[in-house]
Amino acid sequence: MDLQIVNDKKTGGYVGFEIFKRALDNGAKVLGLATGSTPISIYDELGASDLDFSQLTSVNLDEYVGLDANHPQSYHYFMQQHLFNQKPFAQSFVPDGSNLDAKSATSDYDQIIAAHPIDLQLLGLGQNGHIGFNEPGTDPESTTHKVALTESTIAANARFFDNVNDVPRYAYSMGIGSILKSKQILIAAYGEAKAAAVAAMIQGPITPDVPASYLQTHPNVTVILDEAAASQLD
């Protein structure tokens, strides 16, 4: 793993932007995208740049089950606000949270990923080591699946909702196996609360208890961290 330690999230945004730019220069056509607070500084840089995504495809990691694309807390909506309005792609895919039939929603999404192999996948890191919504215990060969969110993830995401009871209990997530098929992976983490998960991801054993530890098996991973997130590394 290539570690980039930065002063702050804003600098992480520049570093992440440069990695996207290089990937595009090298012919990347499909970008795997994430939501949450971590990627925002990268999206700010991408959105303000002169990069052209109009011929590219984006594929997002996950979506809450039960929220349609227009719901303000849906990941569809997040992506519109933070990137797609500024930088439209030729086509953008996010799992269909409004499709309550998990079998068709997940198999449709696997077909999309198979038809659009991901050149560069951006990830954030959960405090419990999750990537996408692949919580501890997820099969490392998993494809897109319906996930029951853990209490810690529900609590962490409650800040985006009026009330913790409004946080959806299920999500559709790209699997760990699908994430690992991406040609290149960029993961960022900021802040003390991520420090233990960062250390487990990079220096811990490869184990289903820490889904992000499977990134150690991928040949092309860049990790952007601030000092606080890197503070438990040896």
Q: Which residues are catalytic?
A: 62, 128, 130, 135
**Of all residues in this chain, which one has the CB nearest to ligand F6R in the complex?**
124
Residue closer to ligand F6R by CB (options 119, 135) is 135
Q: How far is CA 134 from CA 40, 130, 144, in A?
A: 21, 5, 10
CB atoms closer than 10 angstroms to residue 115? 11
CB of residue 108 to ligand F6R, shortest distance in Å: 18
Hunting for tokens 């349609």 — which residue is that?
Answer: 68
Rounded least distance, CB 36 to ligand F6R, Å:
3
Q: Is 223 exposed, middle or buried (0-12, 13-18, 19+ CB in 10 A)?
A: buried
As measured in angstroms, the least distance from the Cβ of 79 to ligand F6R is 9
Nearer to ligand F6R, 52 or 72 (CB): 72
> 40-48 vs 9-25: helix axis angle to the nearest 10?
60
Instruction: Kindly list the strands in the beta sheet with 57-60, ordered across the sheet, starting from the edge strand earlier in the chain.
Output: 2-6, 221-226, 184-189, 120-124, 30-33, 57-60, 91-93
Which C-beta is closer to ligand F6R: that of 62 or that of 119? 62
Name the residues that contact ligand F6R, by CB under 6 A.
Answer: 34-38, 61-62, 124-126, 130-133
Smallest gap, in angstroms, from Cβ of residue 59 to ligand F6R?
12
